[in-house]
Structure 1
């Protein structure tokens, strides 16, 4: 809700804005983004005022109507007026994109226009700095009637998506409706049209039609930049730029001057990628045998140097994982970054393209963890996750994850990820196929019907799924779990192995049995102050997809663990 108010101290009219619901951080986010944008075509943010558990946003007051209100009251705009307004909005977007910010909700309702046609963008509540928070296709952002095709199809919103929404906004100003229709036939029709890029042909636009077509090109790489759009809208004779299809622009700002060369190389590789015919084991892959790839080779000390003192531990988590702990340079605490090699997602937002790397995926940070991922030319993936530990809540988690992932991309330009320097010992679980530890009769007895075994990366994990239950067997490397008080559960013996069985805190009822396969001392030094030894563990879990008491799943989990133990080497 927005009020018109008067600032008693500074003697000026202002607007006051407060969320009607619970404060989710949107007001403060809008304040932080707006405070860094001093542009004549962006509504100026003055201050935030805390009020118990909520915040008020103080912005300039503008005696203006929204573009949406103008079109509703007066009908479609003449092309010359639409051009004048559009050029100002393009200038505003150019300033935002130059700072690495994507608005993500450009629409007529977020454009204020004064009586003398001064246009200003407003409502930065869902805008994002591109280098720290990307949707990664996890959610639809923006307003459906003006959303770009790639966003409607599940991709992340980028600068090119803002340019499309600018074109859609001007389309609506001239045509009197959204390019995806009025919405009278339902949002799903609009969504389908948007995802397919099938806009309704213009009827009123004449000289502006080629410009609208350029701004609203279905392919993001074909659209002009915001700066080019400003020139297109500002003059009748400016040629419409055309680009070779397949080249994508990207705005990314990473902390640390030492990363400039790495980021430039990484950006080149992500944009160009290996050739579509890249063979298995070629550039942009994990090699001819992905299980031999060394995840620790993906961690560059130079990439982490700007943040503090890193220590790499290759003996934690799955065999396809490597963990690095970084003591922050400012002494505020420690962060932990894991690099995980994985197979393609079971349910991807965008299926990977064999022979070509994907874009870096940047989902929003959650629960104190920030993840950056990329799909490789062999359809395997590299996931980088950074989380705060030891009083490092304000650490730049996303920038660290981005730095680590960007650091490995130049390495992939010349070939696959390097192989491990040390082979796994013969007795290791690394040589075991997790799917071979349970047979169809055993999984069917727990699931109630036969389910296909789905192997995970390296064969070091396996999933059997049949509603309402899921069985998993995964391998891990842990500090000795028997004396560890943080490992919750009952200490038991299964056959000749030690094990821990207990319920797992999760959204769904889950019980896990951790079976100790072998105890060993790592060949390389471990982080000072931590446990010097490790255990390889086979974890058997039974998860219920329907509400139930998790302890009821421990019986089936123990039964399956009893079948696994005799098959371990």
Structure 2
């Protein structure tokens, strides 16, 4: 029994990193996988273990093994989703090289998982056949997210590397840190091995393999067929020459066509003997967990663009000149009541039409240009996707291509019965405009002193972010136009978001007044979830003409604790960010 909860069942396998067991979780009544390293962990190892396990637990994707829990008492254990599938290296050992079409199917799913991983600012570090699970229907899952005490480390004459030598990228072989591009290289090396029967740099002693990696001595491609051009790009010696994980997914999707990996069927459990001991239950439990991972995916792969979107790579164009107001038609919305267009509500990526639907009821119809990395959504380009929302809102999202979406929201505190009808009209107008070609540009550029000219992600550096544990610039996820940015902690569920708002100059800003450095500020606690603290700083450069609106820097720190506990950190971060604003 581990941690008084996990009953060990069978040792599933042992490798260079550690031993994996199946176990029964007696609290949640489910089958899980437990992994323990061979070596005894030092205190430093334990700290890295906890930090990196929490990082890995951020990944929720149908093609990635989920991390459920950690046990780091006398022994370090990682509690993971259980899958009965075989690792790809064992599949290859038993059946030999695979057909290019099958390799493309597996690679497409792993690339989708990496897309989700990279969207969270996480680098896997050790993509290889042994870390990819494949079932009989070619459903694939990526596992082993580089936890330090299991990471295969090879000592070389120039230092240590993370990952497995035969699948390491050249920059990693030279001792540089692994990156998203390194993961793409390792996936390319894995697909090369699957289709050719050997890793691209051959086999042998680690030092010999690493030397071939550094020299770029790749074996000739003889069996890859239609995969060959993509493999060549993924195995490019320079990181900047390689495609992204999502670009790999899209390219492989073109090769596999309409094929989709089916989820395994759930088998009935016969009523005899303790149910967690029955073989059929073990398979059924794994299947349910796979299905649950798909249902509750928080970060998903990006859908592929259709031919229309692919033929319009510049549909959005320059983010800072694209005009979101071109996606709204005030006259169309006037059928629901008097309508007014407002070009300066909220962030610069947004435009609004206020519709008076009777009496004091005014519906705010808001359209936003967003990136799919910051607002993941399923759907084909130009498809109007219904997004779940609360009773005071009706949301629609329109994927534009593999990078952008348009978000349409109709909202009002006490909504009329036709709120979604209003949203649907606005969404249809936006969809029709997108189909006509590139989005029109803004009529006038932003004023020189506007925050629209400032990259939000550049306002917080590592020194400032260090006020929160486990947070640095590498976790930054920029929003559309770089007018917003989010950072995520590697050791907790804390996040920082910074965005720009446009606010009517004559209207007061909500919050308790405060003075942060040379700036006036307003501090506000979230009254709904009570787990965040938000600080607003109006940007009013000296000796500039008065405008009807004022730009506002808005910074929020959010986490699992009471919001008041984050206000000190929020003030420190806001002070640092505001000090970098143009004067």
**What TM bracket, shorter-length normalisation?**
0.3 to 0.5
> Which has the higher Rg, Structure 1 or Structure 2?
1
Q: What TM-score, normalized by structure 2, do the two folds share? A: 0.46
